[in-house]
Amino acid sequence: MPIVSPQLDDLSYDRTVVELTRRIPVYAPEWTDHNDSDPGIALIQLFAYLAEQIGYRLNRIPDKNRIELLKLLGIRLKAAAAARSKIALLLSNAGTLVGYPLAAGAGVRAKAGSPPPSFETTEAIDIVPAQPLVLLSTKNPYLHDLLRTDTGRETPATLPATVPANDTEWLTVTWDGKAPKLKDMPLNPVLERGRAGQSFLWIGLEANLANNAGFAGVRVKLTIQLDDDEKPDLRADIHCEPVRASGDAPIPVDWLAYYDAVTGDVLPVPGRIEDDTAHLARSGTVRFMVPATIGPVPAAGWRDLRAAVNPNPIEVCRSLATGMGQKLTAFISSGTGMSAGNYGEVVTAGLTALSGTAALVTTPLAHPLDPALRDPTKVKAWIRVALPAPPADGTPRKIRMVTFNAAPVLQATTVTNELLGRGNGRAGQPFRLTRQNVLPNTLDLQVQESVTATDPLVEWKERDSLDPAGPFDSVYTLDREAGVIQTGDGEHGRIVPLVPVTGDVVARRYQFGGGVSGNLPVCALGTLESGALGVAEVVNFVPSQGGRDSETQEEAEYRARKLLSSRNRAVTADDFKWIASQAPGVNVARVEVVPLRRPLAGAVAVAPTGGTPTPLPPGLPAPRCAPPVPAGPMGLSPALAPGAVTVIVVPAAPGPEPIPTPSFLRAVCLHLNDYRLITTEVHVVPPQYCRICNLRVAVQARPGYTRSMLQQALEARFAAYYHVLTGGETGKGFPFGEQVHIADLMAQVYGLEGVARVESLSASFTRTKSNAAPREGDLVICPERAGEVERIALEAEETVSVDVSTFTLTTVA
């Protein structure tokens, strides 16, 4: 039997008035006027009103008790979480700029919003006077001499017909610096490499190479953002394993080189190189010392693909004489002698020999790179990156951003030197900040404890609880959501002293912010509020995510129950679901847990009508329901896996199919690593979808309802009911692992006001799960042909999405 909170007083205004009016004939039979205008009835109504108010306050006692219990357990409302992102600072003229340090806290504002969300840089960075101007890939490791290899010079069978040429066997210009503009590159990523076999990426830089300018001879950080890292992937499988210790030996880097202006050759970058991209396997940074001799390729240093061949004039005359002489000797030796006709043959023989010599003459074929892209006055330096092998599935990789000037940003605003009041010498004195939703570890609280106002202030430390503090500990607790500071009582923590004249309590610095308004797409940030020399604009090359609104009381009560039941350990399925939903830095909208199962180890496909699974081909044909299904393993293996747990996470993202990115899954996995048992094998994966499209419905409409009215209403109904976050009977998302029946679709149509009768209904479906059976087909009322079914049994990791753009409705009389 469930525990039900009792209704301490159920008296209502109406019931009290009725009960008292019924008693009038018993206690005052002479009172016969029971209308509202009677003064006695007015008094009864006033009494009923007061009784109802007393009952309301009495029934609030259980709420107060719950709140007091939360306080007793030390549960405070969680403050809003701040979104994070990364920005690139785009320079107006890198060729003349001198590098300088930019302190943390530089303000960045979004392009839109009311008001636009504010961000701040969280790290101090060095502005480097260098910026990419051109990206290209080559087949051989020497840009200035495209045919040169490490063992010699290639002899090509064919050469380009004309130059310059942006796409050849030996060189491909993947980005010319103009289309797209550098600020738009995150929205229009460029190819990492050109043709197959081109294994070297060259970055042409506009840079200031002067001594002490802050680039040449300086240790820099090159940030490379790959587009693949932030694309939702149905095939992703993040296995939660311990993170590699930072003290482990770094992987040696031998794939970074530069053009040396002194030797005129390409040399490996010397010194210690720190790489957290695992050789461009993922986005990250490469730290290295820029050689002091880095520079541009001079105009004379670009070697032609084909050199000019001009035979020696003496050899030309010799070939003419030899041809004529051979013919003349033949005439003389045969005894024919010379005649006018024979002389013509002698001249013809000489000209024939001369034409053979002329065929040896070739014109030069210049280097195929456009001279405008190799102008040494503009492209001041070249850096070469040896690219890793392309992905096995042949998917072309793209680059979203390459920059030396990248900085992490946080949705926050900094407040400095805020006077909170003065100590009064009383135990447990509270202080309140003017701003709420204070970000963690940002409050610097100091107290003037000296009667001399010019003496330094004393720093007080924040603690989670005052209970373990001693009477002489200068500590406090902070309710970050409310912005309230609580000091000690003399037994647990010091009392803020009463100091004559002074005694100021000052928040020297803190940051506040957060909320879902900070979750913005790529290129949404664009204004640098803090002036920075030479910075034209900024752009966020990854979405800002992780912003959450502050916690409500109902959410805090639910969290308290989960904390007490899980005890900060992920053991049961509910534990995993709750802990995964609390992952910081990402917005997890829904979590499902499938125990004793792990993701597919190999990709298989199932024929639409069922049958024996066959190996999945490298690329699948276009499915009935778009978008295309990627090749590779998707979904869970049917085999039981003792000790394994698969966590399915759905992000708070728009669209009918919210799919997390690999970095989103890694964030959840990193959070679960702190709570899972060491013997538990945990996988974090995206959901799989059974896509429903080409819905074809014929109905008889009730009078007054047009076809367009019914179509719009049905589109909204299908989109809402069959959605992973808002669908189902509860409105909390369509269930995983259920079945989709044609009768369910028909029930949604029948439930719409304005529909008198359903004449026909059918739909197509495609499943993203690799080993689903059937993989695709048609949902119909009465299956008759192969590929037609009346129901689809979903797997534990599957839910439904509906493409309403392909929905068609017809009405019949």
pLDDT for the residue numbered 318 = 65
Domain boundary among 378, 404, 430: 404
pLDDT band for 616, please (50, 70, 90 cuts): very low
Residue 536 lies in a domain: yes
pLDDT for the residue numbered 656 = 94
- CA angle 552/554/560 to nearest 5° reads 105
Residue 45 lies in a domain: yes
Pair of tokens at residue 136: 């290209």
Q: Does residue 677 share a domain with residue 574?
A: yes
Q: Does residue 192 share a domain with residue 282?
A: yes
pLDDT band for 607, please (50, 70, 90 cuts): very low
Pairing state between β 125-127 and 118-121: unpaired
pLDDT band for 1, please (50, 70, 90 cuts): very low
**Number of domains comprising the chain:** 7
Stretch 364-388: mean pLDDT:
94
Stretch 597-604: mean pLDDT:
74
Q: Is the pLDDT of residue 585 over 50?
A: yes
Range of the domain at 424: 414-512
Stretch 99-116: mean pLDDT:
91
Residue 7 lies in a domain: no
Q: Does residue 611 share a domain with residue 747?
A: no
Q: Is the pLDDT of residue 785 over 80?
A: yes
pLDDT for the residue numbered 332 = 63
Q: Is the pLDDT of residue 209 over 80?
A: yes
pLDDT for the residue numbered 9 = 65
Q: Does residue 273 share a domain with residue 385?
A: yes
Q: Does residue 267 share a domain with residue 133?
A: yes
Q: Does residue 395 share a domain with residue 260?
A: yes
Q: Does residue 519 share a domain with residue 485?
A: no
Residue 38 lies in a domain: yes
Phi, psi of 62 (to 5 degrees): -60, -40
Instruction: Give per-residue burial for 555-591: e unless 16+ CB within 10 Å, then b.
Output: ebeebbebeeebeeebeeeebbbbbbbebebbbbbbb
Q: Is the pLDDT of residue 3 over 50?
A: no
Residue 429 lies in a domain: yes
pLDDT band for 491, please (50, 70, 90 cuts): very high
pLDDT for the residue numbered 621 = 63
Q: Is the pLDDT of residue 329 over 70?
A: no
Residue 4 lies in a domain: no
The Cα 714–Cα 697 span in angstroms is 10
Q: Does residue 508 share a domain with residue 518?
A: no
Stretch 41-47: mean pLDDT:
90
- Determine the residue type at 56: Y
- Kindly report the average pLDDT of the chain as a whole number: 87
The Cα 94–Cα 401 span in angstroms is 17
Q: Does residue 499 share a domain with residue 579?
A: no
Q: Does residue 137 share a domain with residue 278?
A: yes
pLDDT for the residue numbered 477 = 94
Of the candidate ranges 560-569, 762-771, 797-806, the one whose mean pLDDT is the lowest: 560-569
List 173's β-bridge partners, or say none.
136
For residue range 539-565, what is the model confidence (pLDDT) as tens digits?
Answer: 999 999 889 999 888 888 888 888 878
CB distance 621 to 776 below 8 Å:
no
The Cα 164–Cα 482 span in angstroms is 65
Pair of tokens at residue 121: 């840089």
Q: Does residue 693 share a domain with residue 676?
A: no
Residue 439 lies in a domain: yes
Most confident range (mean pLDDT) of 71-75, 315-319, 594-598 is: 594-598
Residue 3 lies in a domain: no
Q: Does residue 210 share a domain with residue 256?
A: yes
In this predicted model, which residue has the larger pLDDT, 614 or 238? 238
pLDDT band for 330, please (50, 70, 90 cuts): low
Single out the residue of 218, 229, 184, 13 nearest to residue 88, CA to CA. Answer: 184
pLDDT band for 615, please (50, 70, 90 cuts): very low
The percent of residues above 90 in pLDDT, for the chain, comes to 63
Q: Is the pLDDT of residue 33 over 50?
A: yes
Stretch 686-699: mean pLDDT:
96
Of the candidate ranges 224-233, 256-265, 386-395, 604-613, the one whose mean pLDDT is the lowest: 604-613
